[in-house]
Amino acid sequence: MAQPTTLQPPAASATQDAPRTGNWDGGNEPFKASYGKLMMWFFLLSDAFTFAAFLTTYGLIRHKHEVFTGAAEKFVFNTRWWPVPDRVFNAFPGLHGVDVPLGFVALMTMILILSSVTMVLAVEAGHRMDKNDVQKWLLWTILFGSTFLLSQAWEWSHFIHGSDNGMVMADGSVFHGANLQMNEYGPVLFADLFFFITGFHGTHVLSGVCLLVWCFIATTNGTFHKRGHYEMIEKIGLYWHFVDLVWVFVFTFFYLV
Amino acid sequence: MAAHATDETLPQGEIAKPNTAWIWKTFFILVGITAVEFVFVFLMEPSTFRNSIFIVLTIMKAFFIVAEFMHLKHETKGLIWTILVPMALLVWLLVALVTEGSYVGEVLQNMFK
């Protein structure tokens, strides 16, 4: 005779679909956070490991290369030295040939921080069950998120096509731009890491925008209102802030240091 | 808690007033720290000291995003430690491999001398 356990409720029970409430049946919230939010936190922790692996790789490879010690103006792109970031990222859309060191990346950073703010505003509106405000702030977040993606597309395109000067190769020819085998800025791995790290971050932003669009549709349809809470917005919000957080680190280690 | 909507019971169909001052405060702190970073980029020659300033400022920004926007500061202690302790391991990994990178570079540059 099989003993009925708490994990296997009797099949004929009328309360089969009722949530289990026992301490070891999921009826307890040890961290006072719902299952969904807790799992989002753990997912983000694992995602942080992935990005940390990328940035650690970047640190190792960068320290493996020689550091240019002279004045920044004297620096020329060379495979011997790791490039000086404000000499690589100095282009701005519509200002061809003008030297704007880190100007465009400053704008991108502002856009992403702003999108984080509108995301918290959406979560806050969700707490108040204010459907119109949730819709409004989600739309702003989608707008800023998409603008960031487009900016990154421009940045990639510029990085791939390169500057007017390019790098003079050993045989006297000039190479412009970057791909996975060659680039005009410095060691091969510089461009590789740029593509992998900013690309992986951009993919996260793209998934975030897709999730936000889905959230906006569900909000508009009243799904969350009928459910009685807007916790889904909070969970997507956690993900979105994490993407912003990763950018803070990418920004420091790729563009500033 | 400032981050929560008021618990006062509202009449049916009425919506509480937005409570957003803390959000904008955090926003201006983040923008301010980023501005300070740009001041250091342009007014200081690259050095290990400048890099440490950047790392400290980055961790400050990360603190405000995680604590306020992701609301971790207002969660239980157990959850806070569950997230922060594994991060300490990552810091160790980073320091270990960056040191290793310097060593590998030194060996390669002096190989044929």
What value of ipTM does the predicted structure carry?
0.85
Does pLDDT of A3 surpass 80?
A: no
CB contact under 8 A, A60 and B97: yes
pLDDT band at B9 (very low <50, low <70, confident <90, very high): low
Residues of A in contact with B101 (CB under 8 A): 59-64
Distance from CA of B102 to the nearest CA of A (A): 5
CB contact under 8 A, B62 and A242: no
Within-domain flag for A4: no
Instruction: Point out the residue among A45, A130, A248 whose CB comes nearest to the CB of B61.
Output: A248
pLDDT of residue A89: 87
Within-domain flag for A29: no
Within-domain flag for A42: no
Does pLDDT of B8 surpass 70?
A: no
Instruction: Point out the residue among A45, A128, A129 whose CB comes nearest to the CB of B83.
Output: A45
Domain CATH number, residue A235: 1.20.120.80
pLDDT of residue A66: 82
pLDDT band at A6 (very low <50, low <70, confident <90, very high): low
Q: What is the reported pTM?
A: 0.86
Stretch A188-211: mean pLDDT, rounded?
95
pLDDT of residue A15: 54
pLDDT of residue B2: 43
Computed over every residue of chain B, the mean pLDDT equals 86
Q: In terms of residue numbers, what domain contains A244?
A: 47-256
Within-domain flag for A169: yes
Q: Which residue has better confidence, A206 or A256?
A: A206
pLDDT band at B30 (very low <50, low <70, confident <90, very high): very high
Instruction: Point out the residue among A64, A101, A238 whose CB comes nearest to the CB of B101.
Output: A64
Within-domain flag for A58: yes
pLDDT of residue B14: 75
pLDDT of residue A240: 96
Task: Note the pLDDT tens digit of each residue in A83-112.
Answer: 888 888 888 888 877 788 888 999 999 999
Computed over every residue of chain A, the mean pLDDT equals 87
Does pLDDT of A75 surpass 90?
A: no
pLDDT of residue B11: 67
CB contact under 8 A, B66 and A245: yes
pLDDT band at B1 (very low <50, low <70, confident <90, very high): very low
Distance from CA of A164 to the nearest CA of B (A): 24
Within-domain flag for A41: no
Instruction: Point out the residue among B31, B55, B108 whose CB comes nearest to the CB of A113.
Output: B31
Within-domain flag for A246: yes
Share of chain A above pLDDT 90, in %: 53
B93-107: string of b/e by CB count within 10 Å (b at 16+)? Answer: ebeebbeebeebbee
pLDDT of residue A1: 47
Pairs of residues, one from chain A and one from chain B, whose beta carbons lie less than 8 Å apart: 137
Residues of B in contact with A256 (CB under 8 A): 37, 41, 54
pLDDT of residue A251: 93
Residue of A nearest to B50 (CA): A257
pLDDT of residue A7: 55
CB contact under 8 A, B70 and A64: no
Task: Note the pLDDT tens digit of each residue in B50-97.
Answer: 889 999 999 999 999 999 999 898 888 999 999 999 998 888 999 999
CB contact under 8 A, A252 and B94: no
Residue of B nearest to A57 (CA): B97
CB contact under 8 A, A84 and B46: yes
Within-domain flag for A233: yes
Our count of domains for chain A comes to 1
CB contact under 8 A, A124 and B18: yes
